[in-house]
Structure 1
Amino acid sequence: MNRSSRVDPIARLPSLTVVHGGPDAAGVPQHDFSTNRNAVGPCEDALRAVQASDPGHYPDPAYTALRKALGQFHGVPPSRVVLAASASEFIHRITALAAQQGARAVQVPLHGFGEYARAALARGMEVQPRGGPPHAPLQWACEPSSPLGLSDPAVLLWAAPQALDAQTGVLHEQPPLRVVDCAYAPLRLEGRAAWAGVPGSDLPVDAWQLWSPNKALGMTGVRAAYAIAPPGMDRWVDVLDTLAPAWPVGSHGVALLQAWVDPVVQRWLVYSLETLRAWKSRQQALCIDLGWAIHSGSLANYFCAQPDSDGDLPTLQARLAALRQAGIKLRDCTSFGLPGSVRLGVLAPQAQDALRTAWLALRGGRTIPAAPAHP
């Protein structure tokens, strides 16, 4: 073959712009509405556990005690627990497993976390936004969904026997790999599946559950997550463990996950949800008062809204940039497929009032005072 005619396999892969909330090149925002972490946190007991962890030694590479504790918490044997460096890392790892076993397509929520599609595109897989029948060999759901905070209809569909019988996509003669991202399940503020200390009890039994407790504990800087495999998936657990690097979770992540199952920490979480409910009601009222149109139905500690277009700045992106310079960050929902809208994590009243003041200044054509440097 002529060397000049060879096709670069990397060049064939599409690029996908990565958009995330949280700190950026300008540092930590003074008032960060762009992430969905529990603003009541950090949980003090979990924080103390992380600070007291031993960074001078490797964790147990098999995570024996941690798997046992997480299994007891979920009422499953430790053999069904898969440790992950983060939820994003697990998304990429299980997508790699699906691709390795011949999957050529993945079905993702119409509006959802970009890493589902990014992991698939990186492996040359077709991305199918959900809308038709769920036939892809790898299927994702998020319960509740992000950015809208709604119940994901796929969860009910997967739990229905008639839906399971109608499947045509297979993975090595196995049913499709289905994964429910439970990142926001502990932060659900309304509905029958609101956090009640029985994690995952109402999820389809044949779906994987992906848990990332750092959001619920208000400690997103500690990267650690885990997945619960469906019954009878021991072979897939072994393969996923083989695909992981050594020690995917460090000592701080181990401490966070061990604290997560502590009854004292779980009580703190339940109490924090009461505070978040009050803050959410106030924040939505503030947005309505500003003339913003709220996407209804959010069940979690975040919601989406469409800001008004009054003021001198011509685009929403320009207004968000001006807010960012003032230390206030909102999540632009364009990458979620909702242009013109923003997602707001629920914050304390002080931050809400800062948003009101800054937005009214923009509407009036005034300069927003620059934010002080974050300590």
Structure 2
Amino acid sequence: MTQLSGPELIQADTLDDYDLIIIGAGLTGLSLVCWLLQLTKEAQVELPRVCLLEPRLFYGNDRTWCFWDRDPHPFRDLISHRWFRWRVSQGNQSIFQTDKSVAYAMLPADALYHHALAKIDSTPAFDLYLGFTVSGIEHTNNGMMVSANERHWRAKAVIDTRPPDANQLDSGVGVWQIFSGLEIACPKHGFDTSTATLMDFQTGYPYPCFVYLLPLDEDHFLVEWTAFQPGKNVVPDYRIDLESWLERQNLGHYEVTRAESGMLPMMPLPGYNSSGQLIRAGVGAGWMRAATGYHFVSCQRGCETLARHILTAHASGNWMLQSPTIRARWLDWMDSVFLRALKRHPDQAPQWFLDLFAATTGGQMSRFMNDQPRWHDAWAVANALPPRPFIRAVLPW
């Protein structure tokens, strides 16, 4: 994996005071400080002093974020590829959607990391501590105290972006999205570079498995094998399935230039619409869309709102922050129903997705997947799915 250097690791020999501590400097933590920079520049106000505590020692090109590119955010210029046509398929059946005004976009992790780390390194108000794993958070008379690696930091408020604990996950409702991906160099690979394949369902598996394919140009592509698996106790080596699929494509010689893998909980998480000096953010706060695993857009929306609250708190001195509302509650309810039906009828899921994309437009799907559907978008989605299994899935048994 390519190693990306971050700002020089700061030695915390004394107790330092900050306005804000952000636990975790992954997508959510880095996005939040970039939103703070952008909003203070627009409003010409003073930045709060911010400390970020991150357990990793280096940043690598370990993932890609994909989303429908509808809204502005601090990383929009870093998007590397856009597709205005996408499809879902199984066997000989393919459903295509297009939207001339909204693209399906890809943003590589290394580009975002380089950008955000450079911003932090050049901003005196921001300190990033690498290699620190938080072990404790305490309320004090003057604010909050955070402990990590036998050291301590004090601040007026804390944003906790760590992933969810196991006891937060409702495994009885959802599934795990488990994926293994490869970025490949293959001259004249033959895949249509104008089209992103979101789901190409594979047969012969007890739960939905599909290939996700992004042609980057005529000689490079990103491909992932993804499974919606009911549990994570036994995880097959999906790279073997992916390599078998690649062999069947008769590509000839190719080189693997990068690998990525992950496990996403497609499960409802409790809402954190609360106020206080300690706020959850990111996947652990339910920002990721449970029924899809998409997170980038909701993360940007949440970070923008949270950054505005932080700047208001810094100006007023009242550090009782408010958790942002990421999406409408009825969308979370729809996701819970869908996930319950998916878990009960995994064999029917491929046809459900084909019917869903066949019955909607590209604009409807991009709005729905970005958590910003109009009522007729949600109606089109609900109307595309078979009523019997979903009516039954409304009941929790």
Please report the TM-score for the alignment, with normalisation by the length of structure 1.
0.25
- With CA pairs under 8 Å and 6+ residues apart, which has the higher RCO, 1 or 2? 1
Structure with the higher strand share, 1 or 2: 2
Structure with the higher helix share, 1 or 2: 1
Please report the TM-score for the alignment, with normalisation by the length of structure 2.
0.24
